Amino acid sequence: MSAQAGSVDADLRVPPRTWYARSVHDVARDLLGALISVRSPEGTVTVRLSEVEAYGGSDDPGSHAYRGRTPRNATMFGPAGRLYLYFTYGMHWCANVVTGSDGEPSAVLLRAGRVVEGVELARRRRPTTKGDADLARGPARLATALGLSGADDGASVDGTAGHVVPGVSRAALRLDRGPAGPWERGPRTGVAGDGGNGRVYPWRYWLTGDPTVSPYRAR
């Protein structure tokens, strides 16, 4: 990659929201190595993504949208290029990027990455973390390090303000000019039932050998 870990390269592009209106798998692979930055009154935190998971709709028993649209998953139905935030285990937020055609649910879960900007702020948000490699290692940790919450559900990832609480946070995903490097795919972690079958749904993508990739956990 042209950008070195620990720095934020200015020679990056913020793709338009139409860039996300593609296959969830194409977007997932292309997000490996991308930077997501979230600016808030506290400051800016940027994470270089090392691991993501793809989720579909009625064709994917592991997806929130498998049984159709609900108030909880409505953002997942589009338009593409927005954040879909959901609450899990009664305590954590997880962040996804909506993809595909409007009305056809699909999203990429942002599973893990390395904090390359705003490390001190990320440490304050994750005070029990033992090392910096763990600050955004796992989807809940990543969302916490970035300062994302339900207020950001539906916010664009092109740097414009979230529609729920305008101006509270601004998220932007930036792509490097070069390839992210070798990557692998396999079963999604923590997905129960048929959706966790890695032979049928090898829909988790990660950068080979990256120390921030979260450990695989079957369910």
Indicate whether 71 belongs to any domain: yes
Band of the pLDDT at 1, cuts 50, 70, 90?
very low
Indicate whether 62 belongs to any domain: yes
Per residue, the 3-state secondary structure of the chain, as one string, reads CCCCCCCCCCCCECCCHHHHCCCHHHHHHHHCCCEEEEEECCEEEEEEEEEEEEECCCCCCCCCCCCCCCCCCHHHHCCCCEEEEEEECCCEEEEEEECCCCCCCCEEEEEEEEEEECHHHHHHHCCCCCCHHHCCECHHHHHHHHCCCHHHCCCECEEEECCCCCCCCEEEEEECCCCCCCEEEECCCCCCHHHHCCCCCCCEEEECCCCCCCCCCCC
Predicted pLDDT of residue 22: 97
Question: Into how many domains does the chain fold?
Answer: 1
125 or 4: which carries more pLDDT confidence? Answer: 125
Predicted pLDDT of residue 177: 61
Predicted pLDDT of residue 13: 82
Asked if residues 212 and 113 have their Cβ atoms less than 8 Å apart, the reply is yes
pLDDT digits (tens, 9 = 90+) for 56-100: 999 999 999 999 999 999 999 999 999 999 998 878 999 999 999
pLDDT at 119 over 70: yes
Indicate whether 35 belongs to any domain: yes
CATH code for position 191: 3.10.300.10
CA dihedral (85, 98, 154, 193) positive or negative: negative
pLDDT at 106 over 70: yes
CB atoms within 10 A of CB 211: 12
**Centroid of chain to Cα 129:** 20
Band of the pLDDT at 2, cuts 50, 70, 90?
very low
Indicate whether 3 belongs to any domain: no
Predicted pLDDT of residue 178: 64
Predicted pLDDT of residue 213: 96
The percent of residues above 70 in pLDDT, for the chain, comes to: 88
Indicate whether 144 belongs to any domain: yes
Band of the pLDDT at 180, cuts 50, 70, 90?
confident
| Residue 98 token pair | 């909506």
Give the C-alpha separation, 65 to 105, whole Å.
7
Asked if residues 46 and 157 have their Cβ atoms less than 8 Å apart, the reply is no
Predicted pLDDT of residue 5: 36
Closest CA to 97 of 135, 136, 143: 143
Q: Structural domain of residue 104, as residue ranges? A: 17-207
Band of the pLDDT at 16, cuts 50, 70, 90?
confident
Alpha-carbon distances of 18 from 78, 80, 111, 156, rounded to whole Å: 11, 7, 23, 11
Indicate whether 212 belongs to any domain: no
Predicted pLDDT of residue 175: 86
Indicate whether 34 belongs to any domain: yes
Indicate whether 6 belongs to any domain: no
pLDDT digits (tens, 9 = 90+) for 132-173: 999 999 999 999 999 999 999 999 998 765 544 555 557 889
Closest CA to 114 of 98, 102, 97, 131: 131
